[in-house]
């Protein structure tokens, strides 16, 4: 399964250590507010359950989570929408940029500027997306062959062990079912969300190009409205 690269590891580490915690809370709060339109009960709304789990993974206070859920009935929150942009980075790698915004006229120029200033460019709709598949991605705090076998028995499509954890890939419709099976098996789920996973990767070995790709992805990730950035670049250590 593609999508296993240096960026994903750096991004996970950044999520734990990000000093701009307020901005992170705002992003996730927007995701919660959007998901809560489908119902305020996470037991009945899988999208909301995943958004809340993401919030708790970064130690977002319960009060913030509750306020975000309440925003679903707020007329100002109604302007929130999820928009996905496509782009190319240095070395011709593909980029999928997921956003949650209340003003697309602000978000698009910010995304475009971050790309152009760092050696990338915006792409036409569909020109990059076909290189990716929407998958469930679960990070499990476990190691070893026994854990891998349990994960595959739970219905995962693939699982990769690395850095003291296992990244699990599922069909997008099976994400919640596999997550529940993993929890029932006694495994610790650290993160679970839908992501754009590349069908194949472009291996980047040139250090200068690697640095440029990391720079453009950092620039995108630093934008307040950006929720996730995915790439088909494989960055060697």
Domain at 39, CATH number: 1.10.10.200
pLDDT attached to residue 15: 52
- Per the structure, the count of domains in the chain is 3
- Where in the chain does DSSP place strands (E)? 81-88, 94-101, 121-122, 132-140, 158-162, 165-171, 189-198, 202-204, 226-231, 233-235
DSSP 74-129: -TTGGG-EEEEEEEE-GGG-EEEEEEEES-HHHHHHHHHHHHHTTT-EE--TTTTG
- CB 83, CB 112: distance < 8 Å: no
Cβ-in-10-Å burial (0-12, 13-18, 19+) of 140 comes to: buried
Whether residue 193 is found in the same domain as residue 225: no
Whether residue 93 is found in the same domain as residue 187: no
How far does CA 26 lie from the centroid of its chain? Answer: 15
- Per DSSP, the three-state class of 19 is coil
pLDDT attached to residue 76: 61
- Per DSSP, the three-state class of 158 is strand
Question: Mean pLDDT across the chain, nearest whole number?
Answer: 88
236 falls in which pLDDT band (50, 70, 90)?
A: low
pLDDT mean over 35-63: 90
Report how far residue 88's alpha carbon sits from residue 128's, in angstroms, rounded to the nearest whole number. 8
Does residue 89 carry a pLDDT above 60? yes
pLDDT attached to residue 124: 96
Here the tokens at position 51 are 């958004």
Q: Is residue 1 part of a domain?
A: no
Digit-coded pLDDT (tens) for 53-68: 889 888 999 999 999 9
Digit-coded pLDDT (tens) for 101-141: 989 999 999 999 999 999 999 999 999 999 999 999 999 99
- Per DSSP, the three-state class of 164 is coil
161 falls in which pLDDT band (50, 70, 90)?
A: very high
Whether residue 88 is found in the same domain as residue 63: no
Q: Between residues 75 and 132, which one has the greater pLDDT?
A: 132
Report how far residue 179's alpha carbon sits from residue 156's, in angstroms, rounded to the nearest whole number. 9
Tokens 């790439």 locate to: 231
72 falls in which pLDDT band (50, 70, 90)?
A: confident
Please state whether beta strands 94-101 and 81-88 pair in parallel, antiparallel, or not at all (unpaired).
antiparallel
Whether residue 126 is found in the same domain as residue 203: yes
- Residue 113's domain spans which residues? 80-130+199-235
Q: Is residue 121 part of a domain?
A: yes
Tokens 């998901």 locate to: 35
pLDDT attached to residue 211: 94
Whether residue 34 is found in the same domain as residue 14: yes
Digit-coded pLDDT (tens) for 9-22: 445 445 545 556 77
pLDDT attached to residue 126: 95
Report how far residue 52's alpha carbon sits from residue 206's, in angstroms, rounded to the nearest whole number. 39
Whether residue 191 is found in the same domain as residue 227: no
- Report the candidate in 93, 97, 94, 102 with the shortest Cα–Cα distance to residue 84: 97
Q: Is residue 150 part of a domain?
A: yes
């Amino acid at each position: 399964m593609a999508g296993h690269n240096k960026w994903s590891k750096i991004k996970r580490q950044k999520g734990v250590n990000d000093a701009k915690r307020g901005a992170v809370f705002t992003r996730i709060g927007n995701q919660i507010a959007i998901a809560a339109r489908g119902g305020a009960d996470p037991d009945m709304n899988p999208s909301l359950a995943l958004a809340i789990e993401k919030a708790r993974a970064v130690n977002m206070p319960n009060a913030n989570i509750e306020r975000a859920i309440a925003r679903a009935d707020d007329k100002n929150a109604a302007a929130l929408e999820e928009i996905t942009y496509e782009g190319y980075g240095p070395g011709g790698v593909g980029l999928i940029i997921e956003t949650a915004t209340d003003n697309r006229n602000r978000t698009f120029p910010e995304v475009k500027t971050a790309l152009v200033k760092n050696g990338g460019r915006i792409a036409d709709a569909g020109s990059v997306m076909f290189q990716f598949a929407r998958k469930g991605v679960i990070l499990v705090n476990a190691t070893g062959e026994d854990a891998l076998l349990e994960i595959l028995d739970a219905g995962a499509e693939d699982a990769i062990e690395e850095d003291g954890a296992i990244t699990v890939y599922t069909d997008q419709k099976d994400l919640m079912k596999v997550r529940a099976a993993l929890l029932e098996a006694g495994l610790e789920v650290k993160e679970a969300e839908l992501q754009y996973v590349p069908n194949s990767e472009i291996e980047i070995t040139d250090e200068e190009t690697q640095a440029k790709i990391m720079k453009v992805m950092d620039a995108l990730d630093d934008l307040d409205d950006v929720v996730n950035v995915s790439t088909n670049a494989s960055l060697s250590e």
